[in-house]
Amino acid sequence: MRSKPATALQSLLATLPQQGRVEWIGLRPARRVAPIAVERADIGVGQGLLGDRFSGVASSKRQVTLMQQEHLLAVGSYLGQGAIDPRLTRRNIVVSGINLLALRRSTFRLGTALLQGTGPCAPCSRMEEHLGPGGYNAMRGHGGITARVLEAGVVVLGDRVVLVAAGALAAGEED
């Protein structure tokens, strides 16, 4: 039996020549404590970033949170300022040079770890507290993605973010 040829959209989704770069890594040691910037972090299956307060307790879909560095400037501009400090976003990892939404259902390499994008990382109400009035709405659409860990590894500042296998769209869904 012959398989169906890939549609043009599937072909585009499977092609991502850009590679991202890890620009910032943050661990939240305790509740209501600002993340601490680190140069490297161990990533465990079912754990996320080891040393983060959510390690091992995060849902299986939200073990690691990632945001684009380019969106730090966009969010800041909506708030009438320059790029915001990545600690204020409460995300684990900030990357540059790759559109994270292209990875949201895909398998990708982050340093030596293998992750699978599980969905968008929507802002929480704490954005008003961390970014000021309008912070929640400034982050909408710019919060990055969540991911689960498929293979343990290490992520270091400057590491690459590379698509391994593209995810599939659900029937009737557009990206």
Note the pLDDT of residue 168.
Answer: 58
Strands 160-165 and 107-110: antiparallel
Residue 150 inside a domain? The answer is yes
pTM: 0.86
The number of residues making up the chain comes to 175
Q: CATH number, domain at 58?
A: 2.40.33.20
Q: Identify whether 149 is part of a domain.
A: yes
With respect to residue 115, please indicate whether it lies within any of the assigned structural domains.
yes
- How crowded is residue 157: how many other Cβ atoms within 10 Å of its Cβ? 16
Look at residues 61, 9, 4 and name the one whose alpha carbon lies nearest to residue 168: 9
Tokens of 26: 């943050």
- Residue 57 maps to a domain: yes
Q: Is residue 3 part of a domain?
A: no
Domain that holds residue 55: 19-163
The tally of domains found in the chain comes to 1
Residue with tokens 């969540």: 146
Q: Do the Cβ atoms of 103 and 67 come closer than 8 Å?
A: no
Per-residue pLDDT of the chain (175 residues; tens, 9 = 90+): 555 555 777 777 677 768 999 999 999 888 888 899 999 999 999 999 999 988 877 678 889 999 999 999 999 999 999 999 999 998 999 999 999 998 988 999 999 999 999 999 988 888 988 889 999 999 999 999 999 999 999 999 999 999 998 875 444 444 4
